[in-house]
Amino acid sequence: MSTSAYSASAIADLPTLWDGFAHLVRPGLGITAFGANIMNLPPDYETKSHDEADSGQQELYVALSGSGAVVIGDERLPLDAEHLVRVDAGTARVVASGPDGVRVLCVSGVPAGVYEAPEWSSKGD
């Protein structure tokens, strides 16, 4: 459901990327002020390390179901129903799932700047 003042969607109805690995919240809900995606990590999975140095984005990771960690160097920061993780641009991180997998909401924005959506996050499969 969408109007000029609000929008809502079931996660399953959002556009997807990478065979359903990511649900594109931002374009699916018409968000323009910040980035938002949901990633579905299978059990015992790790993303590639990335640092957002080019975009300048800060990222917030929120587990919607399951559990895992955000790995920064040798530190494993828990990511579950009781833990959130914020990571600044320029800091390399890996998102890792636990034995049951994890569904993660990732919210991003540029501190004191203007959010510009990366091209890959605007389309879907």
Inform me whether the pLDDT recorded for 94 exceeds 90.
Answer: yes
- Output the domain CATH number for residue 64: 2.60.120.10
Does the residue 24 lie in any domain?
Answer: no
Q: Which residue has the higher pLDDT, 122 or 113?
A: 113
**Of 124, 122, 125, nearest to 30 (Cα)?**
122
pLDDT on residue 50: 93
In a domain, 124, yes or no: no
Q: Is 17 part of any domain?
A: no
pLDDT value at position 112? Answer: 79
- pLDDT recorded at residue 2: 55
Q: How confident is the model over 23-78, as pLDDT tens digits?
A: 999 999 999 889 999 999 999 999 999 999 988 999 999 999 999 999 999 999 99
Domain extent for 70: 42-111
Number of domains in the chain: 1
Q: Which residue has the tokens 């809900």?
A: 29
Is residue 95 a part of any domain in this protein? yes
On whether residue 122 sits in a domain, the answer given is no
* Summary count for the chain: helices (H), strands (E): 1, 7
